[in-house]
């Protein structure tokens, strides 16, 4: 595929540009019989919607999801679900200047290099708005996983130098605080830090984490479709993510085998682990512990400080980007990470159904 | 696919277990007309062969590559190249004990959970020997990239707490030093560190990096097949890798936009960048700068220290692993990383050939 | 994929049900730089639109195509093109009865068997309206092929017992006659035949053919992605097609080797063939001659004669289908066949670009 | 993929040339826990082995299967099964002449057109020996289907003008008669017909059919992965097949709706059909009746009659092919067709496991 389709059994195909008519996704492989309505998807989309707090730009886009196919009498039919969000407040005029030069940190130059030209309005296909389709699909995947007793929860763990204390973790905090941190104190410090940076016409990066619970051992395929490999590829495909860690992540390189190995034990009659340095994955397959994925996100490339760059006539120029731009990407990207993890996991769970002859027989006989 | 096939246009399918009859790979999509002989592949395999230095276990396996198809009169024919390495020194008797319990840090438990039972001899399919197929395919991909003026070079950048100084980088150092570090001094310190840890029946982790040079801008597909996403997935699929970074990687989360953005400039009449925080990738597409991928590798899980674990009868036991095991994975994994990066890049370069109508016309008219 | 996506480099994903809100397609892998407007697509859709002549049911659907993404300033951008057609005259009330039983020759029973329930309105996803997405994508593929000097033309070659005489073939006849036959006389006879059958509350089948000209030798992959295998799979995926032939097709089984082999000769300095029993494909790869694909289409399963069947309570009943139904599928399916052939061929031409090292070098160096 | 891999969940990758060192297949996605030994595969390979009767050339190849991976202690492990057959009697000298010209009816010219050159020894990758990998995989797929109560049986239904009477069908006849016809009388007539044609230095074509029984309704994906579309593509990918029919096949184009529709009825309390014109598939999904696929096979292109052709210097020449060549392809291709049908069906059955939420819940909860 040319890159807009992901998955093998649960397959999503996203489309749309920042300032085109609409954006959307076709979700194929959704099992029949799931209760689904537009509100299920809207709840996810609202978490990435701009303008809801001081960390994100006010915008007139209300990002309303419409389900165009695949749902009948309130239930999924097993056929592809097409979800569309109209772009209601396109103002192409704002972007005429950007067309002439390459914004540092953006994909303007690389799109031009690849395709010969680009839709320069708001980043076109490389805009953060491309993730609308991912999030709509994530809402569906998450709902299915929930039916199987599996939770997928992402949150902001750090903004610039400020890290969240996870000891008081609650989903409610994540969903209610503007930073999507599960820590009110860190949230407040981060809000202050971001505000100060913004005043200096600059932007900040951050870290987000996703935890999967309720997953049995055995999910993931050895070799290339390892659960961690699939999750990493999926999370790294989110614009602005520059590093992905599983479990202890980068810390393993300084660890000793005796520290990093998780000893097995028996808990409530079941094989369990005393620690979880592995982040719930061994040999690319879930080990029954919590899955932990961490992603490092770069600062918003659109800053208001003057920057040097080049224009399409190969001249060096100085530019100052205008418009509305979030000073940080992370809080709105949290639901995108959550979505990508849910989509990836569900697809691997579907693949796993034919792993043993006994399982196939149990299903068909 | 069930996970043993990777790629779309350049496709590799690996097979084989540590102690089966043989291991190998089928490489499909190799362009016709490439000069190729077994020695090309052997050179890559020799870099991952055990027993060549104090960091790796002595072993009787000589890992000799045989090309069984796809090459005729010294040139590739365009049809699949099957490469096989016989397992010459299988000693299953050594592994009888391991069959009864789950080694900490290994995939024994997860394979049993997924498949109901496992080939317990030396890790079976989850063994490091599975990478033989990847490396054989990497040799072919690298040779093709070289014809296009592209180099893909990996090396060890850190072992435990010891980091290599890259200022004196040379490919020769990497290929000649037992640590695969491009720094003689760090190599010596690392050798000492590993030896000391080994004496304590323990193992160490490390970091490896891969750099791609000579690549033009425009390679990679937006959205899910981004160059960085594909590289991350491919590198994370190497057993023991727990984190992948692109360019500045984890550092971006503490960086400011004004620091992290690479300003464009004109060098020798061409669009270039003053810095390379992005690691050569913007919006998932190569930007013409050096590509930098970094991978963090956990310590060898097989350690000789006593460890607690459980057996197949769900009893908690204490075990002491025997046999020959490398105290560190990294030096032999370097060529695996290099291979995975070359395979991934070549596949995306093939996809890219149909990106513009002008390119298709130039090819066909 | 769950079956709604086709292709590797040129990829189409269709969605939508007969009586849902809308139907559409996401076309990924369209090369950048193609001039494309809605009218290009509309011309193809109009060929499958109902109600334009006595062979097809009058209907209020005007099947207007909207391009929602992937085109900017009149040219394709290389990113996915989303095309949508709204269902403007849904009358679900008409279909309430059908919900309770299984129509003979339709997919009602098999959908229920697979999914547990179905969207019973007008066949839902199994409706002929599903082909709207295919045809929209076919318009794009055909336009690209035209730029490469390749024509893909389908037509009706037989309706019931009446065969068209191809000696006076012209594209204009095909596009203007209601049967899509390239023969005015056969057209008139067929119209009469269909009218008479319709009076008897019955329906008729037919044959359609697709010819590809201007294609150079060398397209198609050996083994599973043979050009004929891919074309057959694509054409057989059109509802109601029950047989596919390449070149002489079924006649080869009664032929002798000396008759069936096409002798090579030199024409205008180039390798050519004296005959074309092979239908332009040898070993799954185009041989430079005209490609010929033939498809046999069953009679419309919706007939007004009383039929026996069963209802959802497993009772045997007699039913008489109401509503508007074409007495023959073929004329409107011709553009679907043409589209599927164009899509399949273009995808294989893209794959073919990396077949030789010389070709890759020519492209990149 | 470049065409040597087939399937999504049950995936086969074949490799090897007629006169290379070996041929084989990697079968990925085989469920763990299936009892499998080399003899299971050998039985299938023996059905396509040359030299066993007057219809096929005597040859020294004994086509012995070796399983190199994926089986442990007599059972499949869930990891890829690599099967290899060594080419034991390569005599490249025989083929030196063929290198210089293009044999009519063969893929010599098209391979040269695509790749710039070819492995000319015995057809290389386009040889019938390529099917060894398919048949080895078919043996595994068939064994799994048998465990699920599903039989897949192919046979020869016609040779040249002689058709088999199927009324006395038995598997034993098919497996014991040299024509693979289920009719002793037709077999004898066909043997005579082939012998006579051979004396005239010519070859004959034929028809083969495959019937699948024991399959429940609901298998196959709507739209592009229809069961009939997948079967057609798979069967058409067998070299020399030029037409594929499902159920009534080409006859449907002359049929009326009232004749072609299969009326539903209740048999033994279950929804059934009175007739089976559909060949067991409605809307691309199995309907619970017998699946019937028919394939038309061209005469062996290698004939001993003098033929006109061209050589690599673009000169018109007359040639007379030497060596040993079967006068008919069909009897040895029957097991290939059976294999392709089994592989395709199993893959779709695996995909089908995630079709409903209820099915997924039943599996995982």
d(CA A75, CA A1): 29
D95 CB within 8 Å of a chain B CB: no
Query: Distance of CA A13 to CAs A46, A83, C14, C28, Å?
Result: 21, 11, 10, 9
B114 CB within 8 Å of a chain C CB: no
**ipTM reported for the complex surpasses 0.95:** yes
Distance (Å) from the alpha carbon of B98 to chain A's nearest alpha carbon: 14
Strand pairing category for C81-86 and C22-28: antiparallel
C residues 119..138 contacting D (CB < 8 A): 125-126, 130
Residues in chain A where the model's pLDDT stays below 50 = none
The chains found to touch D (3+ Cβ pairs under 8 angstroms) are A, B, C
pLDDT at C2: 80
Query: Which tokens hold the place of D338?
Result: 């059976």
pLDDT at D322: 85
User: Is residue C163 classed exposed, middle or buried when 0-12, 13-18 and 19+ CB atoms within 10 A define those classes?
Assistant: middle
Strand pairing category for C151-159 and C75-76: unpaired
Interface with D, mutate which of A216, A217, A218, A363 (most D CBs under 10 A): A363
- The model's pLDDT over B67-111, given as tens digits with 9 standing for 90+, comes to 999 999 999 999 999 999 999 876 655 677 788 999 999 999 999
Q: Is the pLDDT of residue D160 over 80?
A: yes
d(CA B202, CA B328): 9
Strand pairing category for A285-286 and A75-76: unpaired
B4 CB within 8 Å of a chain D CB: yes
**Contact, B264 vs A106, CB < 8 A?**
no
Read off the pLDDT of each residue in D263-284 and give the average, rounded to a whole number: 97
Mean pLDDT of chain A: 95
% of chain C residues with pLDDT over 70:
96
CA-nearest of A103, A58, A337, A49 to A206 is A337
Of the pLDDT bands very low, low, confident and very high (cuts 50, 70, 90), residue C93 is: low
Q: Where are the alpha helices (DSSP H) in D31-97?
A: 38-48
Residues of chain B with Cβ-Cβ distance to A243 below 8 Å are: 243-246, 249-250, 252-253
The chains found to touch A (3+ Cβ pairs under 8 angstroms) are B, C, D
DSSP state of B74: T
- The model's pLDDT over D37-63, given as tens digits with 9 standing for 90+, comes to 999 999 999 999 876 666 776 666 789
D246 CB within 8 Å of a chain C CB: yes
Beta strands of chain B (E only): which ranges? Answer: 5-6, 11-16, 22-28, 65-67, 71-72, 75-76, 81-86, 151-159, 162-163, 206-213, 241-246, 264-267, 270-273, 281-282, 285-286, 291-297, 307-310, 316-319
Of the pLDDT bands very low, low, confident and very high (cuts 50, 70, 90), residue D318 is: very high
Kindly determine whether residue C8 and residue B10, on different chains, have CB atoms separated by under 8 Å: no
**Contact, C64 vs C9, CB < 8 A?**
no
% of chain D residues with pLDDT over 90:
88
Kindly determine whether residue C26 and residue A29, on different chains, have CB atoms separated by under 8 Å: no
Kindly determine whether residue C354 and residue B10, on different chains, have CB atoms separated by under 8 Å: yes
Kindly determine whether residue B5 and residue D2, on different chains, have CB atoms separated by under 8 Å: no
Nearest CA in chain C to B365: C148
DSSP state of A78: S
CB pairs under 8 A between A and B: 394
- For A125, the closest of C3, C4, C79 (CB atoms) is C79
Residue B329 C-alpha from the chain's centroid = 11
Vertex A157 angle, CA A152 and A158, to 5°: 155
Neighbours of D146 (CB within 10 A): 13
Q: Is the pLDDT of residue D178 over 60?
A: yes
% of chain B residues with pLDDT over 90:
89
C34 CB within 8 Å of a chain B CB: yes
Candidate from B93-97, D165-169, D314-318 with smallest mean pLDDT: B93-97
Distance (Å) from the alpha carbon of A116 to chain C's nearest alpha carbon: 8
d(CA D64, CA A134): 50
Of the pLDDT bands very low, low, confident and very high (cuts 50, 70, 90), residue D90 is: low
Residues of chain A with Cβ-Cβ distance to B301 below 8 Å are: 257, 260-261
- The model's pLDDT over C341-363, given as tens digits with 9 standing for 90+, comes to 999 999 999 999 999 999 999 99
Interface with A, mutate which of B8, B181, B260 (most A CBs under 10 A): B260
pTM of the model: 0.97
Kindly determine whether residue A31 and residue D79, on different chains, have CB atoms separated by under 8 Å: no
Q: Is the pLDDT of residue B121 over 60?
A: yes
**The dihedral sign for the CA sequence B82, B83, B89, B91:** negative
d(CA C352, CA C339): 20
A224 CB within 8 Å of a chain D CB: no
pLDDT at D97: 77
Kindly determine whether residue C28 and residue A5, on different chains, have CB atoms separated by under 8 Å: yes
- The model's pLDDT over C19-76, given as tens digits with 9 standing for 90+, comes to 999 999 999 999 999 999 999 999 999 999 876 666 776 666 789 999 999 999 999 9
D10 CB within 8 Å of a chain A CB: yes
For chain C, domains (ranges, CATH) are: 5-364 (3.60.150.10)
C316 CB within 8 Å of a chain D CB: yes
Mean pLDDT of chain D: 95
Q: Can you state the percent helix, strand and coil of chain B, rounding each to 5? A: 35, 25, 40
pLDDT at B314: 92
- For B148, the closest of C29, C144, C361 (CB atoms) is C361
Residue C93 C-alpha from the chain's centroid = 30
B55 CB within 8 Å of a chain C CB: no
Interface with B, mutate which of D11, D12, D13 (most B CBs under 10 A): D13
- The model's pLDDT over D232-256, given as tens digits with 9 standing for 90+, comes to 999 999 999 999 999 999 999 999 9
pLDDT at C322: 85
Query: Distance of CA D175 to CAs A268, B244, D213, Å?
Result: 56, 56, 18
A216 CB within 8 Å of a chain D CB: yes
Kindly determine whether residue C13 and residue A115, on different chains, have CB atoms separated by under 8 Å: no
pLDDT at C231: 98
C310 CB within 8 Å of a chain B CB: no
């Amino acid at each position: 595929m040319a890159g807009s389709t992901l998955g093998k059994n649960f397959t999503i195909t996203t489309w749309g540009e920042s300032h085109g008519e609409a954006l959307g996704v076709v979700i194929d492989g959704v099992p029949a019989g799931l209760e689904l309505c537009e509100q299920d998807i809207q709840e996810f989309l609202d978490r990435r919607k701009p303008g809801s707090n001081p960390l994100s730009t006010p915008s007139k886009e209300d990002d309303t999801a419409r389900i165009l196919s695949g749902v009948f009498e309130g239930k999924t039919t097993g056929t592809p679900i097409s979800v569309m969000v109209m772009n209601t407040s396109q103002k192409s005029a704002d972007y005429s200047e950007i067309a002439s030069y390459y914004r540092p940190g953006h994909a303007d130059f690389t799109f031009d290099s690849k395709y010969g030209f680009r839709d320069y309005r708001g980043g076109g296909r490389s805009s953060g708005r491309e993730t609308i389709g991912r999030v709509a699909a994530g809402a569906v995947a998450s709902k299915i996983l929930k039916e199987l007793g599996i939770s997928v929860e992402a949150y902001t763990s750090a903004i610039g130098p400020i890290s969240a204390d996870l000891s008081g973790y609650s989903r409610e905090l994540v969903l209610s605080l503007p930073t999507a941190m599960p820590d009110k104190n860190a949230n407040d410090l981060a809000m202050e830090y971001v505000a100060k940076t913004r005043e200096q016409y600059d932007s900040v990066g951050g870290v987000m984490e996703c935890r999967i619970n309720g997953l049995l051992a055995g999910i993931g395929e050895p070799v290339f479709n390892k659960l961690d490999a699939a999750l990493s590829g999926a999370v790294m495909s989110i614009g602005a993510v520059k590093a992905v860690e599983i479990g202890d992540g980068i810390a393993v390189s300084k660890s000793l085998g005796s520290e990093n190995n998780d000893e097995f034990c028996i808990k409530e009659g079941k094989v369990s682990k005393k620690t979880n340095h592995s982040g719930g994955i061994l040999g690319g397959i879930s080990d029954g512990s919590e899955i932990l994925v961490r992603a490092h996100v770069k600062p918003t490339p659109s800053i208001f400080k003057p920057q040097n760059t080049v224009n399409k006539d190969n001249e060096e120029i100085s530019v100052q980007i205008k418009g509305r731009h979030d000073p940080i990407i992370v809080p709105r990207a949290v639901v995108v990470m959550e979505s990508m993890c849910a989509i990836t996991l569900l697809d691997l769970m579907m693949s796993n159904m034919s792993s043993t002859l006994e399982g196939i027989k149990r299903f068909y006989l």
